[in-house]
Copies of this chain bind each other. A is one copy, B any other.
Amino acid sequence: MADLKGTDPTKPELAILKLLWRSKEMNAREIHREIEDDFGWSYSTVRTVLERMADKGQISKTPVDGVNIYEPQIGKVAMLSRMIADFSKRVLELDTTPATAFFAESKLLSDTELEELETVLRKAENE
């Protein structure tokens, strides 16, 4: 589970994680329905990607009544803070991660999550 750290998710992976962060758990059919327009992927493709994500530990796969349901194995704030820190440093070359005021408009994060994010980012900075 250590390799979760380090590598950013691919675009489809992030899209899928976002779905799971919202719904907590979904089956392949549901996930396919949601992202099929965005990626133009067949059901098979979605399943393959889900399989690989499970292998990597990004999500979990549990059979329930013969149908696999998937749940995220990494939290939204954890993932976002990693990505933000990486982008800030590697791409923008900032010493300090931008204040979360920055992300306040994000449709992705609640106020509570914003606070969490702030905490995580500040903590990461002092290490």
Q: Which residues of A contact B (CB under 8 A)?
A: 11, 14, 80, 83-84, 87, 90-96, 98, 102-103, 105-108
Question: Residues of B contacting A87 with CB < 8 Å?
Answer: 83, 87, 91
**Cβ of A106 and Cβ of B93 under 8 Å apart?**
yes
- The answer for the CA separation of A90 and B92 in the assembled complex, in Å, is 17
Question: Residues of B contacting A14 with CB < 8 Å?
Answer: 90-91
- The answer for the CA separation of A14 and B8 in the assembled complex, in Å, is 15
- The answer for the CA separation of A102 and B61 in the assembled complex, in Å, is 39
**Known pairs A84-B91, A92-B103, A98-B102 / 4 extra A-B pairs, C-beta < 8 Å:** A14-B91, A80-B91, A92-B106, A92-B108
Question: Residues of B contacting A92 with CB < 8 Å?
Answer: 80, 84, 103, 106, 108
- A108 touches which of B80, B93, B102 (Cβ 8 Å): B93
- The answer for the CA separation of A102 and B103 in the assembled complex, in Å, is 11
Closest 5 CB pairs of A and B: A93-B107, A93-B108, A92-B106, A98-B102, A94-B105
- The answer for the CA separation of A106 and B91 in the assembled complex, in Å, is 9
Question: Residues of B contacting A108 with CB < 8 Å?
Answer: 92-93
